[in-house]
Amino acid sequence: MSVRILALVGSLRAGSHNRQLAEAAVKHAPEGVEVELFEGLAEVPFYNEDIDVEGSLPQAAAALRAAAGKADALLLFTPEYNGTIPAVLKNGIDWLSRPYGAGALSGKPVGVVGTAFGQYGGVWAQDEARKAVGVAGAVVVEEAKLAIPGSMTRFAETHPADDAEVVEGLTKALALVAQTVSAAA
C-alpha cells in the first residue's frame, strides 16, 4: 500500500522555488510514497466561520478539505514572508483545522520544508507553520526538515529536482513523514 502525501505550497508566484521544490517531491518520491500537489490554494477564500456552513461550503475550501481527507499525511512547502508563513498557507491551515477537533489535519502527520532567499532558508516560517499545524491538531513530524537558503541564486539556473543535495534532503523528509504514517497504522 502506498502512502499518499498531499503537498501544499505557500507561494502563488508563477516561478516559485517552493512550487519547484514540491514538483521535485512529486518526481522523486521514494518507493511506496505518492505525492499529490494540491492546486487551488489561491482560490480558497479567507477563513470565515460565517461561510463555513455545511451545505454551502465554498467549493475551493471543500476541495481542499477533501484532498487532505484522502491523504495519509501532508507536506507543506513554505517561503518566508516578513519572518513568517504566507497568508495563503495559514489560510489553508485554518480551513483544515475546522471543525474544531475533527478537521482534516486532526491526527494527521505533517512535515514542513521550504526554501527562501535569506541565509537560513526560511526556518522562521517553517517553525511558524509547524506551530500552526500542531495547534490545529496535526502530528508534527519534527524530524522532517529541509531549509534551503539562497533560493534566488541556488535555483536561478537549476530546478530543485536536478539538485542532488536537495533531492536527498527532500527524499529523507518524505520518508520520515511516510514512516510516521506507517508507525501510526
Query: What per-residue confidence (pLDDT) applies to 101?
Result: 85
Query: What per-residue confidence (pLDDT) applies to 74?
Result: 98
Distance CA 7, CA 146 (A): 14
Distance CA 148, CA 128 (A): 16
Contact 34, 3 (CB under 8 A): yes
Residue numbers of the domain that contains 147 = 3-184
Q: What tens-digit pLDDT sequence spans the chain (185 residues)?
A: 699 999 999 999 989 999 999 999 999 999 999 999 999 999 999 999 999 998 999 999 999 999 999 999 999 999 999 999 999 999 999 999 999 889 999 999 999 999 999 998 999 999 999 999 999 999 999 999 999 999 999 999 999 999 999 999 999 999 999 999 988 87
The cell for 124 is 522562521
Contact 33, 178 (CB under 8 A): yes
Query: What per-residue confidence (pLDDT) applies to 157?
Result: 93
Query: What per-residue confidence (pLDDT) applies to 100?
Result: 86
- The reply to whether the predicted model has a pTM over 0.95 is yes
Number of domains within the chain:
1
> What CATH number does the domain containing 96 carry?
3.40.50.360
Contact 105, 96 (CB under 8 A): yes
Q: What angle do CA 58, 59, 60 make, to 5 degrees?
A: 95
